[in-house]
A = this chain, B = another copy of it.
C-alpha cells in the first residue's frame, strides 16, 4: 500500500490509507488512545482503541498506521485517522534526552546543538531551515534569470584572499594550503573570463578567535560579482531588487514556516536608505552621544544606526557607503584619497553584506596592493589576469546564516546553521 503524506489527507476522506512517520505525542484515555504522528509535511491525530496497545510505543519511534481518514477538530490538522492497525518500523531504543514534543523547545543553545538531530524535529527549529531554503532558492533564481552563471571555486587555496591572518592552514600533500576566506579572487577572475556575471553559494572559512552570537568559523556565503558596472551603486541596486525578490518568495512560499516561527517579513517597497559611513559616525556622536568610536563602527554602533534608520527613514535596512580606504581590502576601488566605492548593508542591527566596486586597472591594482603594505608578487596568479581585458566590476557577499537569523529574529546565528562550527564546537 502506498504511503499517503499527511498534508494530502484531504484527498482521502472516508478512505483507508497508510501513513508513516514519527510518534510525536501519545495520550491514553479510558478506552481510546490519541497518537499524534508527524511526517515531513505535518502532524495528524490518530485515534486508536486501547486494545491495540499503542500507548506503549516509545515517543519518536518510526511507525506506519493503517486507518480511515475522518474529519477532525484539533488544532494540528482538520482531519484525523481512525486507526485499524499499525506497525513499528523502527522503535526508539531509549527515552529522549531532550523534550522535543512540546510547543516550545525550552533548551539552552548548547543542549540544542548537542542534540541537533532531535531538536531539528521541532517545528520551530526545522522551519528555520525551510525559510533558509527559500532564501537560497530566491538568491539563485533571481540571479539565474538575470544572466548570472553559477560557479564553484576552490576552497583549498595557496594564498589568503585578503592578506589577513584569520585563516585555517592545512597540509596539502607536500605543500601548505589554506581554506578560502571568500571566493573573492575567483569570482573576479570568472567575471573576467567572459561570464561577466557570476554567483556562488558555498562555505567559507574564518579562523576568528572570538566567540560571538553573530560569528561562525564556517559559514555559507552567497556571493555575486558582475562586470560592466558604472560603480558600486549598480551593486546596491541589484541587492535591493534581490532582497525584495527573496522576501517576496519567502512570504509567498514560506507562510507555514513563518507562522510556526511567528515572524512577519519586513515591508520593502521603498528603496533602502543610503548613508555615508562618515555621516553615520557623525549621527552616532550627535544623536546617541557615542564618542568612543574613533573613526570605526562597533556592534553597538551598528545597532544604533539601524535604530536611527528605522526612526528616520522607516527602514529596517540601511546601506552605509563610502567606507574609508584603510578599512577595505586592496582590491577595493578607491574614491579620492581616503574613501572607497564600497558599502555594507545592515539589517536589524547587524551587517549582512559587504560589497563594492573593485579595481579593474592593472597598474592601479598593483599600486593599491603596495599602498596596503602587501607584496604584489604574492598575488601574481590574481593580478596577472588584469593585463588581458578586465571590465569594470563589483560584487557583494551575503552571509546566509546571518540573513536567516536577522530575518527570523534568532538570538544567535548558530541557530541558523544545521551543524555550526565555532571556536570550540567541532561536533556533531
Mark A residues whose CB is within 8 Å of B.
Answer: 3, 5, 20, 22-23, 38-41, 60-62, 89-94, 96, 116-118, 120-121, 126, 129-130, 133, 136-137, 140, 144, 147, 149-158, 168-173, 175, 177, 179, 186, 189-190, 192-197, 202-203, 205, 207, 209, 217-218, 220, 228, 360-362, 381-382, 385-392, 400, 417-419, 421, 423-424, 426-428
Contacts and interface: CB of A to CB of B under 8 A. Distances in A.
Contacts of A92: 387-389
Contacts of A156: 168, 179, 205, 217-218, 421, 426
Q: In the complex this chain forms, how many copies of it are found?
A: 2
A122 to B, nearest CB: 9
Contacts of A205: 156
Q: Which of A91, A118, A192, A193 is the most central at the interface, judged by chain B CB atoms within 10 Å of its CB?
A: A193
A149 B129 contact: yes
Contact of A388 (B96, B158, B169, B424): B96
Given A129-B151, A155-B218, 6 more contacts: A40-B194, A62-B390, A90-B360, A92-B387, A153-B419, A156-B168
Q: Which of A39, A193, A194 is the most central at the interface, judged by chain B CB atoms within 10 Å of its CB?
A: A194
A418 B117 contact: no
28 contacts: A40-B147, A40-B197, A90-B391, A90-B392, A92-B388, A94-B388, A96-B388, A117-B192, A117-B193, A118-B193, A118-B385, A121-B193, A130-B149, A133-B149, A136-B150, A152-B418, A154-B218, A154-B421, A155-B203, A155-B218, A156-B205, A156-B218, A156-B421, A168-B170, A170-B171, A173-B209, A175-B426, A186-B418
A193 B96 contact: no
B117 A189 contact: yes
Q: Which of A170, A205, A390 is the most central at the interface, judged by chain B CB atoms within 10 Å of its CB?
A: A170
Contacts of A382: 428
A156 B90 CA distance: 31
Nearest to A40: B196
Contacts of A171: 168-170
Contacts of A186: 418-419
Contact of A89 (B93, B392, B424): B392
A120 B385 CA distance: 12
A116 B195 contact: no
